[in-house]
Amino acid sequence: METMAEPGIKLNLSTSARRTALLGAMFLMATSAIGPGFITQTTVFTAQIGAAFAFAILASILIDIAVQMNVWRVIGVTGLRAQELGNKVLPGVGWFLSGLVFLGGVVFNIGNIAGTGLGANAMMGVDPKIGGAVSAAVAILIFISKKAGMALDRIVVLLGAVMILLMIYVAIVAAPPLGEALKNTFLPETVDFLIITTLVGGTVGGYITYAGAHRMLDSGATGIRHVKEITRSSVLGILVTGLMRVLLFLAILGVVAGGTVLSSNNMAAEAFGAAAGEIGMRMFGVVLWAAAITSVIGAAFTSVSFITSSRTPERKRNLITVAFIAGCAIVYIFLGQAPQQLLIFAGAFNGLILPVGFAVLLWVAWRRRDLMHGYAYPKWLLLVGAAAWILTVFLGWNSVMGLAKLWA
């Protein structure tokens, strides 16, 4: 029998408002994944293995869906955040997870703000630090709005749509070899497991794993009766991310297949310029800025959601989020970017977040029917999740090894 949701979760939203919030949660998850690193990874891997990258994209999307369907369903049915579930499973685990997410979120958000500065520079030629500071101010305005939740939902949906439309244009003018890409989607000439795991880590690793699911709790779409909505939103969010990666892949593939050798420090910008000239460079600026600022918003929202609870008043949570963004912006303005060693440490944190947090959620689905309000969790979904968890352990191990090398 379904019990009452935790205090603080909004249950008084109208059906249309709830759907809007769910759409916002879906796009928050998607756009949090589509950041500066997402653009760089996709460009570099396409340049490395060409059309065979299509298979890596397909494989990573399937794994991402397996992870997010489990994450959204457990959090959605229980009505509890990941750290709250962690502390109920084993006291202290939730706080450990919160520490990993928050520390990683701080460092990566400095990088995200740097990305907005570079995007503004490519888009309008402004100084990157000024562009970063203004972009941080825009993100802050969203959270100090009287209707912050609605503003957040609408801005991530709008910017997500803008990125997709611009990428469609660039992909068309780049004229990629679609037949070759389609063939390699199912019969790849090269299979690179490391690339696949890197894509998975970049799409559902770190704070990104919980961005949409935690936002979903504010929509009121929690409990057993909303399982269908929860499942649909989790899958669509990954498909939006996948669509953006496919379009970016096709755009880069068209440029590479046309004979252009990408060799600069900013291969993505070079590819956009080769595909569409000066307007392509400006479009790259827009896409980079949109990708970076939505990641700023997603990282800030999710990081703060891990150091607050479902009982924390929304106003207080928003003020903490504003302070989080402002602090990251100040560090960026004075340092220019997060120090390389801090980024490496944060990357290692990110590698640990998914296996630890995902293990907690799978345990709740398997053994804690009391937290699931008696919901009979589908065995097939649990098995798929367990298989995906093994991969997350591999990712986490690689992160720990990377950290050990740094210390050595």
| Range in 5-9, 196-200, 280-284 the model is least confident about | 5-9
Report if residue 201 sits inside a domain.
yes
What is the model's pLDDT at position 3?
39
Cα–Cα distance, 107 to 145 (Å, whole number): 25
Helix or strand run (H / E) with residue 372: none
What is the model's pLDDT at position 67?
95
Domain count, the chain: 1
Range(s) of the domain holding residue 166:
15-407
Report if residue 202 sits inside a domain.
yes
Q: How confident is the model at residue 402 (pLDDT cuts 50, 70, 90)?
A: low
What is the model's pLDDT at position 9?
43
State what percent of residues in the chain have pLDDT above 90.
Answer: 68
Q: Whole-prediction pTM value?
A: 0.90
What is the model's pLDDT at position 8?
39
The per-type count for the chain, helices as H runs and strands as E runs, is 15, 0
| Range in 46-50, 257-261, 290-294 the model is least confident about | 257-261
CB 5 within 8 A of CB 11: yes
Place of tokens 């070759």: 180
CA dihedral 27, 136, 314, 212 (to 10 degrees): 20
Report if residue 94 sits inside a domain.
yes
Neighbours of 386 (CB within 10 A): 16
Q: How many residues does the chain have?
A: 408
Report if residue 112 sits inside a domain.
yes
Q: Pick the more confident residue, 264 or 199.
A: 199
Cα–Cα distance, 379 to 48 (Å, whole number): 39
Q: How confident is the model at residue 5 (pLDDT cuts 50, 70, 90)?
A: very low
Q: Comparing C-alpha atoms, which of 91, 94, 303, 55 is closest to residue 191?
A: 55
Interaxial angle between packed helices 193-204 and 15-33, expressed in degrees from 0 to 180 and rounded to the nearest 10: 140
Report, as an integer, the average pLDDT of 295-312: 92
Mean pLDDT of all residues in the chain?
89
Half-sphere exposure of 154 (CA within 13 A, CB side): 9
What is the model's pLDDT at position 107?
87
What is the model's pLDDT at position 347?
65
pLDDT reading at 111 higher than 70: yes
Q: How confident is the model at residue 256 (pLDDT cuts 50, 70, 90)?
A: very high
CA dihedral 55, 56, 58, 64 (to 10 degrees): 170
Interaxial angle between packed helices 36-49 and 267-305, expressed in degrees from 0 to 180 and rounded to the nearest 10: 140
CA dihedral 59, 61, 64, 65 (to 10 degrees): -110
Report, as an integer, the average pLDDT of 10-16: 58
CA dihedral 362, 368, 371, 377 (to 10 degrees): 60
Report if residue 7 sits inside a domain.
no
Tell me the H-state helices in 11-147: 15-33, 36-49, 53-78, 82-89, 93-124, 128-144
Cα–Cα distance, 309 to 68 (Å, whole number): 21
Report, as an integer, the average pLDDT of 272-299: 94
Report if residue 300 sits inside a domain.
yes
Place of tokens 């101010």: 137
Report if residue 303 sits inside a domain.
yes
What is the model's pLDDT at position 246?
97
Report, as an integer, the average pLDDT of 125-148: 93
Listed as own residue / partner, the contacts of 266-269 with beta carbons closer than 8 Å and 24 or more positions apart are 267/40, 267/43, 267/44, 267/47, 268/39, 268/40, 268/42, 268/43, 269/122
CATH number of the domain to which 203 belongs: 1.20.1740.10
Neighbours of 136 (CB within 10 A): 26
What is the model's pLDDT at position 2?
38
What is the model's pLDDT at position 375?
95
pLDDT reading at 180 higher than 90: yes
Kindly report, residue by residue over 345-389, the tens digit of the pLDDT. 666 667 778 899 999 999 999 999 999 999 999 999 999 999 999
pLDDT reading at 177 higher than 60: yes
Q: How confident is the model at residue 332 (pLDDT cuts 50, 70, 90)?
A: very high
Cα–Cα distance, 406 to 160 (Å, whole number): 36
Report if residue 5 sits inside a domain.
no
